[in-house]
Amino acid sequence: MTVKKTKKRQNETLHLLPIGVIRSALHTRSKAPKQGYEGAPDAWLEINAFAEQCLDGLKAGSNIIVITWLDRARRDVFKVHPRSDPNRPLTGVFATRSPDRPNPLGLHRVTIRTIVKNRLRIGPIEATDGTPVVDIKPVLSVQPDF
Amino acid sequence: MTVKKTKKRQNETLHLLPIGVIRSALHTRSKAPKQGYEGAPDAWLEINAFAEQCLDGLKAGSNIIVITWLDRARRDVFKVHPRSDPNRPLTGVFATRSPDRPNPLGLHRVTIRTIVKNRLRIGPIEATDGTPVVDIKPVLSVQPDF
């Protein structure tokens, strides 16, 4: 019975609800840096009304991890040339930060510049305009490398 | 037209497919440490067949970020007492690492101990047995704090 339940859980589809969206001057993937620290701009993160109260306690100057849904990515790509460099051998996407992967989640460590009602100015961030956001987590001060 | 498309995207449900599952000696949330570095054990991460090729390039000794789906969490909780301490004021879940949140994604920075076919021995990790895994990313050496 337990085995059955676990098997079922292992393969069922999980449902994410966007909690906000990125508003950025970056509009195309080809113009976006691969990582935020590679010259990406700041952007706005607009939080959907239902999730606004989840922001209580966040402050300008804090470092957070924003989890996005990279909706322009391909989900049927399992190996890539790292950094899109054809001279590098094909590598499994779990060993790379390629946006193309079975579940195109993006991790972005950013600083909160300011908070205006339901909008957070954050950066630097390489996500393009319109990218859905699915979670925000604080960087843990007791474990600064996460 | 663009606005319409973006609005639609902002509110549509997104679908995650588990790429694997945690096999751990931890069976209940109450017995699990809150964070991996708080005395959590190592565990196995079993990768589903369709995603096995995504592992190519991962090696024992590497540090990775495992993203889980905390399926025992509550999604209708928007504020919590941090660290479950009633003396701490109610705080929005985006300012905490509470598993209870609109999209219960878990971030776990772990070391790969060994890889045996489609199974990775990883740790330390506080996720309980049967927890679905939705993504694996390498820790970026150029940005060691992520």
Residue A108 is predicted with a pLDDT of 95
Neighbours of A9 (CB within 10 A): 16
In the predicted model, what is the mean pLDDT of chain A?
Answer: 90
CB atoms B78 and A51 under 8 Å: yes
Higher pLDDT, B144 or B92: B92
- Residue A99 — very low, low, confident or very high, per pLDDT cuts 50/70/90? very high
Nearest-Cα distance to chain A for B92, in Å, is 4
The complex's ipTM works out to 0.91
| Residue among B57, B96, B132 minimizing CB distance to A92 | B57
Residues 6+ apart with CB under 8 A from B3: none
Mean pLDDT of the region A30-43: 90
Q: What is the pLDDT of residues B22-68, one digit of tens each?
A: 999 999 988 889 888 889 999 999 999 999 999 999 999 999 999 99
Nearest to B138 among A21, A37, A96 (CB): A96
pLDDT for the residue numbered A2: 45
Question: Please, which residues bridge with residue A137 across strands?
Answer: A65
Q: Structure tokens of A23?
A: 């508003």
Nearest CB partner across the interface for B10, out of A18, A35, A105: A18
Buried/exposed code over B95-124 (b: 16+ C-beta within 10 A; e: otherwise) = bbbbbbbbbbbbbbbbbbeebeeeebbbbb
- pTM for the full model? 0.91
Taking CB atoms and an 8 Å cut-off, how many pairs form between chains A and B? 199
Contact A14 B17 (CB under 8 A): yes
Write the burial class of residue B93 (CB in 10 Å: 0-12 exposed, 13-18 middle, 19+ buried): buried
Task: Give kind and range of the element (H or E) at residue B4.
Answer: helix B2-11
Whether residue A13 and residue B17 make contact (CB cut-off 8 A), yes or no, is yes
The sign of the dihedral angle between the CA atoms of B129, A137, B104, A71 is negative
Closest chain A residue to the Cα of B67, Cα to Cα:
A105
